[in-house]
Chain A
Amino acid sequence: MALKGRLEDFGITQLLNLINLARKTGTLYLQGPEKNAYLCFHEGKLIYAVMDDAEDSFTAILQQSGVFTADQVRMIEANMPGKTDREIAQVLITSGRLQQQKVVKSMKEHILNLVYQVFSWNSGTFRFEPSKLPVQGKITVPIALENVIMEGSRRLKEWERLQDELPDLDVSLKFAERPTTPLRDINLSVEEWRVISFINPRNTIRQIAQNNNMDELQIRKIVYSLLQAGIVEIIKPPRPKAAPGVTRPTRAGAAAAKRAEMRRPAVKRGIVQKLIHRIREL
């Protein structure tokens, strides 16, 4: 089942977040305002990216990152015609002309560079094809999406969307119970660390901003990126535990609980069972 939609309605950050959390494998095809791109994922990790006008041959990528000169690239291509990127890399590494770390570093930089460009696409369409991976013969590098989302979100300058995603600054944050990546493995900026140091159920986002002399835009950006990366969670009002008709004060505030109590009808278990029985019969 392909996931389809418009980037105006469902942005890149949300898509990457979904792919990360659902540990999806497949390819995300993007049609942006001026270019097209596709991003490949394996079990929730970004492994490859291609954009219309970007050179995606392995040797060209190595030239761009300064590992080889243009002359060296021409020579390599002349000596190994018809070979895939993966085969070329294998030959170069086994012959000692290239270090594996350099391959990984160059490919990673190339993929990330493309992905961060895609973050600025506010319009266009997307389509996610599960299990489809057009990367045969290519060199893939698994990249955890948390950091990509963090960095992409840093570059995100959509004030309106941030406001939409995080409408209320008078809520508190807590650390995610099951973070997908340990905090020590995530690259945080100084500002993000400053926010992190104030995370406590007693501090609202607004108070954290005030303590750090941050304006609303700054704090929204940081909290949004921490939320998207799954590092923190908003503390929501407690989930409904009370059955209809049962008084149950909540921490969200006595007034709200009182209001809810008054409204809930008194219902016994037997009545709910009657409803179930009747609906089954319909």
Chain B
Amino acid sequence: MQTLKIVITGPFSSGKTELIQSVSEIDVVSTDRKITRDAERIKSQTTVAMDFGRITIDEELILYLFGTPGQKRFDFMWEILSEGMLGFIVMVDSTRPETFREARRILDTFRSYSPVPYIVAANKQDLEDAWPPEDLRIVLRVEPEVKVVPCVATDKESVKQVLLELLYSILEVMDQEEEEE
């Protein structure tokens, strides 16, 4: 049995848990805790260790989706979760510019862990206040060759598209390598 891993990362409350829940065939193994203090105004629970979802590909292949904890004090978990990942998705809440700087920091950190393909998912694009993906590209200083994909993490079709775009990016990298060889 072979297992593969995609990591979903991003700032606190960017929609990582919802994204995994939308496509996982098992109930997401979540380690959410009730939030106290200031963060409570945004959502009632947050991920303190990781989220964990599964998609069975066939009898011999399973894809795991790991969501990183969003709060900064748990960032020691990030490197552990990134081990052996196939690629990663940086989730950004497009309606909360106060989190963009943090998203950029996370993106740079994950890039430094492992040179695997990644994409940015511009979440909450169904909301009126959402910043367009192309503006997020500029703000997050995402290179032109990296995809910034519109996303609604609670919508299964939208999440499927995000995962597919990451997989297409992996294929593109493979194609590029084959050309170089």
Contacts and interface: CB of A to CB of B under 8 A. Distances in A.
Contacts of A244: 86-87, 116, 170
B63 A275 contact: yes
Interface size class of A (residues with CB under 8 A): 35 or more
A43 to B, nearest CB: 15
A243 B58 contact: no
Given A10-B98, A164-B101, A237-B112, A265 B174 contact: no
B138 A238 contact: no
Given A2-B129, A244-B86, A256-B112, A279 B139 contact: no
B98 A21 contact: no
B173 to A, nearest CB: 5
Given A237-B111, A274-B61, A280-B160, A22 B134 contact: yes
A265 B168 contact: no
Contacts of A271: 2, 4, 61
A282 interface: yes
Interface size class of B (residues with CB under 8 A): 35 or more
Given A22-B135, A256-B112, A271-B4, A10 B170 contact: no
Interface in A194-238: 236-238
B147 interface: no
B167 interface: yes
Given A5-B98, A18-B139, A260-B115, A242 B177 contact: yes
Contacts, number: 133
B38 interface: no
Interface in B95-127: 96-101, 108, 111-118
A81 interface: no
Contact of A242 (B101, B134, B164, B173): B173
B97 A269 contact: no
Contacts of B167: 272, 275-276, 279
B168 A276 contact: yes
Contacts of A75: none
A271 B87 CA distance: 14
B84 A263 contact: yes
Contacts of B177: 241-243, 246
B130 A1 contact: yes
A1 B128 contact: yes
Given A17-B138, A282-B55, 15 more contacts: A1-B131, A10-B100, A236-B111, A240-B118, A241-B177, A242-B173, A243-B174, A244-B86, A244-B87, A244-B116, A246-B174, A264-B116, A272-B174, A276-B171, A278-B63
Q: Lowest 9 CB-CB distances: which A-B pairs, in order? A: A9-B98, A240-B115, A5-B97, A10-B97, A243-B174, A278-B57, A260-B114, A243-B173, A21-B138
5 contacts: A1-B128, A4-B129, A6-B97, A241-B176, A272-B171
